[in-house]
Structure 1
Amino acid sequence: MDDGMFDGASMPTEECYVWVVQFIRHNWRGLLSHLESLAWPEPSSVQVLVRDEDDDCFGLWMIYDGKLVEVPLPRTEREPLSASVTGVLSRTDRRVGEHP
């Protein structure tokens, strides 16, 4: 997708692109390292949003020193889970019994 999709312009700019990809669970191993290996014109501007099926919300990953690193989000915590590439991201501000 390009920015023309968002502002109604018929001509996209060269500066703004969004890739949207949906993977079947467990089929995206290696994605983060592949994205790290690409020759980004501005690596500091790369933002990756990842949401596994058990996550409450998207996690934000950005390139720091050549590696995609998860950026801590307020009121969230990530717990390891062997069945997940990244673990499970949970909101800590939900009320008991409330579902995402």
Structure 2
Amino acid sequence: MSWVANVMVSIDPDDRGNAEALGDWLREEAPWRRQPDAFGVGFLSPITDGWGGWKYPECWLWAGALNHADLDALRQRVADTSWRQPNAVQLFVMDQEESFFRLWMIRGGKLRQFAPLEPSEEDEGFYWTDATS
């Protein structure tokens, strides 16, 4: 049985080496969730080259579908990385059986979540603009 997490990391182009190292760690050393002796959960690939538009993107996006990934370990690895442009790092994670991405960004030297724990269409203090009004 598999357990899939969709993961994307948006970075500044200066941090390409760190994104590649994160992908290598995921492929070879990243621990499995609830299986302490299992390692390697997949990898991330750069997908920015396939973006549409006429301009060169100002960020790089790496993405992959990970299997059995210990997401706490992934967040810790992202937090512990010496990013050249830490404020540009964004980690998006959609775990299996979820229909939304959670977003983490590095602010004040810490990786912090910038999304509600559970998405809701109820007005719970979140603000948005209705594009049709």
Aligned to 2:121: 93
Structure (1/2) with the larger strand percentage:
2
User: In the aligned structure 2, how far is the partner of 1:52 from the partner of 1:26?
Assistant: 9
Q: CA RMSD in A?
A: 2.6
Of the three residues 36, 46, 53, the one matched with 2:89 is 46
Query: Does the Cα contact within 8 Å between 1:44 and 1:64 map onto a contact in 2?
Result: yes
Structure 2 residue runs of 5 or longer lacking an equivalent are 1-45, 123-133
User: In the aligned structure 1, how far is the partner of 2:106 from the partner of 2:90?
Assistant: 8
Query: Does the Cα contact within 8 Å between 2:48 and 2:62 map onto a contact in 1?
Result: no
**Residues 1:68 and 2:96 aligned together:** no
Give the TM-score normalised by structure 1.
0.59
Deviations 1:50-93 (A, max 9, x none): 11113231111101122211103xxxx42xxxxxxxxxxx3222
Give the number of the structure with larger relative contact order, counting CA–CA contacts within 8 Å between residues 6 or more apart: 2
Structure 1 residue runs of 5 or longer lacking an equivalent are 79-89, 95-100
Structure (1/2) with the larger helix percentage:
2
User: In the aligned structure 1, how far is the partner of 2:120 from the partner of 2:49?
Assistant: 36
Identity %: 25
Give the TM-score normalised by structure 2.
0.46
